[in-house]
Structure 1
Amino acid sequence: MSDNGCGFPAPGLHSFLFQPIFTVAGFEFNKVMLLALIATGVVVTFFTLAFGKAKVVPGKLQLAAEAGYDFVRRGIVYETLGKKEGEKFVPLMVSLFFFIWIMNIWSVIPLAQFPVGSIIAYPAVLAAIVYLIWVPLTFKRHGFVGGWKNITGYDASLGPVKWLVSAIEFFSNLLVRPFTHAVRLFANMFAGHLMLVMFTVASWYLLNSWMIPAAGVSFAMTMAMIVFELFVQAVQAYVFVLLACSYLQGALAEHH
């Protein structure tokens, strides 16, 4: 931790590195993996308890689960894909939304205090899952030739420009789209965590340096950043699922 000669432990990339909890046959299991597994357990346990013995008149837990499920189903999936096409994708999108949200929210939970989404591997795998559903679905719906037309946006009416447009669309859809899908989530969580660490460490540093007013301002900023992060964490889960639905909608749409 570089202090730049002033004793301040500036946060940096080292803030995202963790020593392994244990190592088995060269495989290192660290804190981030543990948080991802716990997030999975939280989502599965929550919905199992809520819907395992569902009642006509729901209790508080079932009511909360139904509200969250319905928010994703009606507010994201139906709005993007429509009820008929979207219904079969609802379980996937609900799982993605709540898994991403819980992974993000670890950032402000004591002892955890780290957003899993700030490690690029996790958003990358989730984006890859969407990609591996979207591309085959495109060809299944439109056939081989129609699938490529859908992906490249080929339009004979554009004349000579059609090849340039097709090349740009091909690059954008097959290469750029999955990259930006993952990076959008990663970058927001990475930057948010870095800011939280900065103000938290600064508060402690200033307090130990007897700069009480400055420490108070830094602590107030920390509290404000926590509130802001709670908002961003939910928004990023929403945006990720919304984009996933948008990609699937494009795969199902008729090419003109």
Structure 2
Amino acid sequence: MGALVLAEGATFQPPGAGDFVLPPIFGSGYWGSVTKPMLLVVLSVIIIAVYFLVATRKLKVVPTKGQFVAESIYDFGRNNIARDQIGSQDFKKFVPLIFSLFTFVLVNNLFGIIPVLQFPTMSRIGFPVALAVLVVYPVYHYVGIKRHGLGHYLKKELAPPGVPAFVLPLFSLIEFAQKFFLAPITLAIRVFAAMFAGHLIIAVFTLGGAFLLNEASGALKPVSAVAWIFAILMTFLEAFIQVLQAYIFAILSASYIGAALAAEH
């Protein structure tokens, strides 16, 4: 994106990818520094744990508002994600994982529109990659191998019955790339790209509005209000996308597990 130069000579430099690389809050060196996204990840775990511990501390038959909200979130993760994607026979043991993934990604996404914090943790690619590659990827392959055995699992995934022999080599190659490499990467990139782009767009409208108000000539100053209106509208849209991306991450994770456990491809 190019810089905007006004008549007075002031230059607006729009935010870019470099603005997502935050300086260390304390510490120094690659392994010794602590940045804002690191602290936000820790904060998200504390928020989730404290909220559900407090909300479910004194369960009642007629739930309080806090208990109702907590139970609704849990039921959504349990029934609408885990059970629907994994199946009624196998889903229960995976509910903690799917529920944790959903709430963890959700809270870290919502940090992007919370005043003061204002940074979606998942806009740093390392965090979604860690979830997808180090958590989801090993789990769904492990449960598939455990249920079917290594040989049968590979055959089920790479050479299912009904595939014509002349296309089987190409089919197996594509499925191998998809199941063992592309699936976890695309799972991570999906939420990363949405959080990165959304946060960047909001920053452009917000900072652009401030620049026009402070640096533009009289005729252009009212445009700053338009920029801020768009920033507010984009914030509401981003909130929806943040929730949606947490849901998509969790439902795809559950679908991978369900596919690994299924008897057929």
* Identity in percent: 37
Q: Are the equivalent residues in 2 in contact too, given 1:150–1:251 (CA < 8 A)?
A: no
1:54 to 34, 52, 59: 59
| Aligned equivalents of 2:152, 2:204: Cα separation in 1 | 51
| Aligned equivalents of 2:75, 2:164: Cα separation in 1 | 42
- Other structure's SS at 1:113 match: coil
Provide the residue aligned with 2:24 in structure 1: 20
- Other structure's SS at 2:27 match: strand
Provide the residue aligned with 2:171 in structure 1: 165
Provide the residue aligned with 2:191 in structure 1: 185
Superposed CA RMSD in Å reads: 1.7
More helix by share: 1
What 5-or-longer segments of structure 1 have no aligned partner?
A: none
Provide the residue aligned with 2:90 in structure 1: 85
Counterpart AA for 1:45? V
- TM-score in terms of structure 2 length: 0.91
What 5-or-longer segments of structure 2 have no aligned partner?
A: none
Q: Are the equivalent residues in 2 in contact too, given 1:9–1:201 (CA < 8 A)?
A: no
Q: Are the equivalent residues in 2 in contact too, given 1:104–1:233 (CA < 8 A)?
A: yes
| Aligned equivalents of 1:234, 1:219: Cα separation in 2 | 23
> 4+ residue stretches of structure 1 with deviation over 3 A?
2-6, 153-157
Q: Aligned-pair distance for 1:146?
A: 0.8
Tell me if 1:201 matches 2:207.
yes
Deviations 1:92-135 (A, max 9, x none): 11111111111001111111111000000110011120001011
Q: Aligned-pair distance for 1:48?
A: 0.8
Provide the residue aligned with 2:181 in structure 1: 175
Structure possessing the higher relative contact order (Cα contacts under 8 Å, 6 or more residues apart): 2
Provide the residue aligned with 1:7 in structure 2: 11
Tell me if 1:151 matches 2:160.
no
Q: Are the equivalent residues in 2 in contact too, given 1:154–1:166 (CA < 8 A)?
A: no
Deviations 1:67-101 (A, max 9, x none): 11111111111111122211111111111111111
- TM-score in terms of structure 1 length: 0.94
| Aligned equivalents of 2:233, 2:162: Cα separation in 1 | 54
| Aligned equivalents of 1:24, 1:40: Cα separation in 2 | 24
Which stretch shifts more, 13-22 or 146-155? 146-155
| Aligned equivalents of 2:169, 2:76: Cα separation in 1 | 41
